Amino acid sequence: MRIVITGASGNVGTALLRRLSGSGHSLVGVTRRTPPSVPPYDAVDWVNLDLGDPDAFARLTPVLRGADAVVHLAWLIQPTHDRQLLQRANQGGARAVFTAVAAAGVPHLVHMSSVGTYAPAPFGTLVDESWPATGVPTSSYSVDKAACEAMLDSLRVDTIARVRPGLVFQPDAASEISRYFIGYLVPVSLIRPLVMKAVPWPPDLAFQCVHADDLADGLARIIEQRAGGAFNFADDPPIDRSEYRRIFGGVGPGVPTRFVRPVVTASWHARLQPIDAGWIDLAKDIPLMKTDRARTELGWSPAHSSGETLREFVEALGNREGHAGPKLYPRRLLGG
pLDDT along the chain (336 residues), means of 10: 97 97 94 94 96 96 98 96 96 98 98 98 97 97 98 96 97 91 82 86 95 98 98 96 95 93 95 95 96 98 96 90 81 52
- Report whether 147 contacts 93 (CB < 8 A): no
Question: End-to-end CA distance of the chain, in Å?
Answer: 43
Residue 184 has a pLDDT of 80
Residue 250 has a pLDDT of 95
- Report whether 73 contacts 10 (CB < 8 A): yes
pLDDT per residue as tens digits for the range 299-325: 999 999 999 999 999 999 888 888 877
**Cβ-proximal residues to 112 (8 Å cutoff; 6+ apart), any chain:** 7, 12, 71, 72, 73, 75, 163, 165
Q: How far is the C-alpha of 35 from the C-alpha of 177, rounded, in Å?
A: 18
Strands 126-127 and 288-289: parallel
- Report whether 180 contacts 135 (CB < 8 A): no
**Cβ-proximal residues to 165 (8 Å cutoff; 6+ apart), any chain:** 112, 114, 115, 210, 215, 232, 233, 234
Residue 334 has a pLDDT of 46
| pTM exceeds 0.75, yes or no | yes
Q: In which region does residue 319 sit, left (phi positive, over 0), alpha (psi from -120 to 50) or beta (all else)?
A: alpha
Residue 246 has a pLDDT of 95
Per-domain residue ranges of the chain: 2-168+210-233, 169-207+238-318
Amino acid at 26: S
Query: What CATH superfamily is the domain 2-168+210-233?
Result: NAD(P)-binding Rossmann-like Domain (3.40.50.720)
